[in-house]
Structure 1
């Protein structure tokens, strides 16, 4: 996403072919505010329109890097538990169970 938010939600869903994937919009280089290409309002607006959380990170200072990782893991775990409740033990064969996928952009 050079210089802006060129990707759109429909493109991502088309590539992943699954609407039920854990998804976060993450902005990096949060320590370089004076060089930002996407405004905070634009990023937050895009995340809101997609219905996903937005988090700004900095690999240099490690701000929110762990938060994004752990939030994503919690979301995967939550969806897995929800899937287990929905199947209510009906699908004991693990080979037939749909695997959860996560995407980090």
Structure 2
């Protein structure tokens, strides 16, 4: 059996370690908020948008991925079989930038 003093020392050490973990998480969050969008995309498994290769839109609105400056994985439901799928960032980059797909699908 431990004395009260030993138990207080253990509790104080646990509290200190939790505090250090929390402060480390807060620091990484703050650092990620200060990052430019291109660096943030790398952290979030996104793919950077090259706006020079996009097809002209002729619209007043700008797609969300252009504002964000990177593609992210998007879930969708297949129109034919109603299955849940993921449209990956790499597939989006190919569709919009290489195949010159329509931006109106959003």
- Of structures 1 and 2, the one scoring higher in RCO (CA 8 A, sep 6+) is 1
Q: Which has the higher strand share?
A: 2
Length-normalised TM-score, structure 1? 0.29
Which structure has the greater CA radius of gyration?
2
What is the TM-score with the length of structure 2 in the denominator? Answer: 0.29
